[in-house]
Amino acid sequence: MPSVKYVSASEIRSIFRDGRFEDLVAYGVLSEKLIREGPAGDRANQPPGTKSQMVAYVDNHGKQAALIHQYVKPDGTLGASGKPDPKKVFQNGTLYIMDETL
């Protein structure tokens, strides 16, 4: 059973970036699995037609390596910061979970 560590948004983004999860998806080491999708809320301040998505990055055994949120604009590009926003990251035997109170 992995250890669990609750971290701030900036810390989980750093872990995600340093782990090069986006590159692992681009290289086919991990794949994306859409978990949930719906219209972006009005408070998201995104263009009309933007989708809010929760996406899991999974390995070839179906094990989740990361869980991210992203806004996908009608043209297919990512909205907000233009990058996935990690919520959970599993790395080196530890499950890091973003805690919005930190």
Q: Is the pLDDT of residue 72 over 90?
A: yes
- Tell me if 68 sits within 8 A of 87, measured CB to CB: yes
pTM for the full model? 0.91
How many CA atoms lie within 13 Å of 75's alpha carbon, on the beta-carbon side?
A: 6
Which ranges of the chain would DSSP assign to H, the alpha helix? 9-18, 21-26
Kindly report, residue by residue over 75-99, the tens digit of the pLDDT.
Answer: 999 888 889 999 999 999 999 999 9
- 3-state percent breakdown (helix, strand, coil) of the chain, nearest 5: 20, 45, 40
Residue 58, pLDDT score: 97
pLDDT, tens only, 23-70: 999 999 999 999 999 999 888 889 899 999 999 999 999 999 999 999
The pLDDT assigned to 38 comes to 95
pLDDT of 42: 86
